Structure 1
Amino acid sequence: MAAKKEHSNSKLVAQNRRARFDFFLTETFEAGLALRGTEVKSLREGKGNIQESYAEPKNGEIWLINAYIPEYQSKMPFGHEERRPRKLLLHKREISKMSDAVNRKGTTLVPVKVYFNDRGIAKLELAIGEGKRKSDKRDAIKERDWQRDKARILREH
């Protein structure tokens, strides 16, 4: 895979912070979102949540399931359904790679963050994740606490 691009001028809308705690994230992809106008306006206001969402392959496409984008507050007569499935825009090669990964036992597609890129287009960072066990989570907590304590000790000296 090519070197990971750093999104310097991007505007972060929603982030799934528990994804790194609950899953071993192996490979990340950048996907476009097929959105309606009111959904884009709502995301531009910084509203949206991908905490309980996931992605799944259906009929040769990848769909974002259970992502929450609230209705845009205006006097427009047309709204949108807040938790509707949204199509992700990816290359066929990426779709086949993700579908193969999901068919393996214990892997899933985890949305990591939603942001607007430099051109103002809504993007979703999606990762292939393998679920962590309870002991792995405990190890991560121990490591995080040790790093915090180590930083505190070094600051004091």
Structure 2
Amino acid sequence: MFKLLFLLPVLILAGCVDGMAPITKGTVIDDGLFLGKYTVVQKETQGHTWPLSAGQLEKLSAWLKFHASGWHPVLVSPPPPSYSVILFHSNNVRTQIDLYSINESWRHAIRMTHWDATGKFLGSEIENLPSKDIDNLKQQLSGMESAQDEG
């Protein structure tokens, strides 16, 4: 019975990426450290934040579907992220996608954390990806592309 109770959250987390509700809006925070409700800008850079366009949300949804497998529960505390994407879903779940480009040992990690509409923690999972996949994601979400979609 104890093993079942331990494995149940793991099984629920494993299905989070594949069973995500549609994304309704999103924001990117780059060149700063996003910690919960607070953005801490690195002293040597100016932080940038921008909303995602409808086209970028579609591309992100496709990217997430393509990378739906291979996610694992987070078993260690990661460093503060250097790039975050905050997403809101049609079922009022909030997802935060974190990247860690300033930390060499976490450079290939991408972590997703989910909260319900009341802010209750639902789970967190992590995957290690090749640099080209992470660079591709950041390119699709770049602020320049957002401005082009709007214009």
- Shorter-chain TM-score: what band? 0.3 to 0.5
Structure of higher RCO (CA pairs closer than 8 Å, 6+ residues apart): 1
TM-score, normalisation: structure 1: 0.32
Of structures 1 and 2, the larger Rg is shown by: 1
TM-score, normalisation: structure 2: 0.33
